[in-house]
Amino acid sequence: MRGILTIACALALCTTTVRAEPADPQAKAAARQVLIALRVLAYDKALAERTSGGVVTIVVVSSGRAASREERARWLAGFALLPKVKVGGRSVRVVALDLGSEAALDAQLAKHGPALMIVASDLGAATDGLRKLARARKIITLSRREDAVRGGLAIGLISGHERDEIVINLEASRAQGARFGAGLLQLARLVEEGSP
């Protein structure tokens, strides 16, 4: 039931125009995950402080590995299916970034000023560096792996057999500048950093 409510909230509270219904199940799943990720952002009471102009920038960070680039491509395809999506009345801009060196990624983050960093699943070993950059620049992090959230990223969007589940590391999300409303915290499962 929680998963259905999460998706319903995502659909109801994000302003969006959806292109024709995708036939590809992976594309459909990607669009659903994008909507949920955007809804999480919409619950952030500090979003306006972390955006410039009327645009919310989201970066999708991946490594050079094929699986990582495929995951990034799925996220980008999900956003492409929602071309006029808005969060809190602001347009959404998506930028794809390669992990590279910490200094190079930091320069890209400074250039784009994202509110959300979607981290590819294979970047578990880079969690410490990503966590440090996200906290310094007040960027909410999102992963599809719960262990990354327990390792210091803020949000997990975990795929299940019947539904997606939102997992939140509250300490990490606050350190990254988010102030999530109670509605999201009731829908999500909270985890602590470093817990098994």
Give the whole-angstrom CA distance, residue 176 versus residue 174: 5
Q: What are phi and psi for residue 99, nearest 5 degrees?
A: -60, -55
User: Across-strand partners of 190?
Assistant: 168
Three-state DSSP at 103 gives: helix
Region for 78 from its dihedrals, namely left if φ exceeds 0, alpha if ψ lies in -120 to 50, beta otherwise: alpha
Average pLDDT on 15-40 reads 71
Task: Write the pLDDT tens digit of every residue in 31-81.
Answer: 888 999 999 999 999 998 888 778 999 999 999 899 999 999 999 999 998
Residues 70-103: b if buried by 16+ CB within 10 A, e if exposed: ebbebbbbbbebbeebbbbebebebeebebeeee
Three-state DSSP at 90 gives: strand
C-alpha distances in angstroms, 119 versus 21, 45, 71, 110, 166?
26, 22, 10, 17, 15
Which range is most confident: 84-93, 107-116, 179-188? 107-116
Which range is most confident: 24-28, 41-45, 157-161? 41-45
User: Across-strand partners of 62?
Assistant: 98
Give the model's pLDDT for residue 21: 52
Residue type, 71: E
Task: Write the pLDDT tens digit of every residue in 113-131.
Answer: 999 999 998 987 778 889 9
Task: Give the domain ranges of the chain.
Answer: 2-191
What fold does the segment set 2-191 form as a domain?
A: Rossmann fold (3.40.50)
Give the whole-angstrom CA distance, residue 95 versus residue 98: 10
Of the pLDDT bands very low, low, confident and very high (cuts 50, 70, 90), residue 138 is very high
Give the model's pLDDT for residue 195: 67
Order the strands of the 90-98 sheet from edge to edge.
86-87, 90-98, 55-62, 116-119, 140-143, 155-159, 164-169, 189-191
Average pLDDT on 20-35 reads 73
Average pLDDT on 4-23 reads 43
Is pLDDT above 50 for 83?
Answer: yes
Give the whole-angstrom CA distance, residue 151 versus residue 25: 30
Is pLDDT above 70 for 134?
Answer: yes
CB 164 within 8 A of CB 158: yes
Q: What are phi and psi for residue 109, nearest 5 degrees?
A: -65, -40
